[in-house]
């Protein structure tokens, strides 16, 4: 697998333990973060603001909003589900 354009942060080599399909997904996410989120984060850093628009982008990539059924299915699990309309 080719090295991503950004600095490699896999200090312990966990990516090498992943199947090729997961490494490809990781590379796709890293490319997206570098191209779309890094400039947004840099601009917000300079203005001392939080990039709220990044949250929706993370959900689109399924980087946020996971539920973990093995830990239960209570109200907190519903709030964490992608596409959930549950509120706090």
Residue 62 included in any domain: yes
In this structure, are residues 67 and 81 in contact, taking their beta carbons and an 8 Å threshold? Answer: yes
Regarding pTM above 0.85, the answer is no
Q: Per the domain annotation, does 58 fall within a domain?
A: yes
pLDDT for position 48: 94
**Residue 88 within a domain:** no
Q: Do the domain assignments include residue 1? A: no
| pLDDT of residue 13 exceeding 90 | no
Q: Is residue 35 part of a domain?
A: yes
Does residue 86 belong to any structural domain of this protein?
A: no
At 67 the pLDDT is 64
Between vectors from CA 80 to CA 74 and to CA 83, what angle results, nearest 5°?
A: 115
- Tally of structural domains, the chain: 1
- Please give the residue range of the domain that contains residue 69: 14-80
């Amino acid at each position: 697998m080719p090295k991503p354009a950004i600095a490699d942060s896999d200090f312990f080599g966990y990516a090498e333990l992943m199947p090729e399909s997961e490494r490809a997904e990781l590379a796709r996410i890293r490319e997206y973060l570098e191209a779309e989120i890094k400039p947004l984060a840099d601009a917000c850093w300079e203005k001392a603001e939080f990039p709220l628009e990044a949250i929706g982008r993370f959900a689109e990539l399924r980087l946020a909003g996971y539920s973990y059924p093995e830990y239960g299915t209570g109200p907190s699990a519903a709030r964490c589900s992608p596409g959930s309309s549950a509120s706090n």
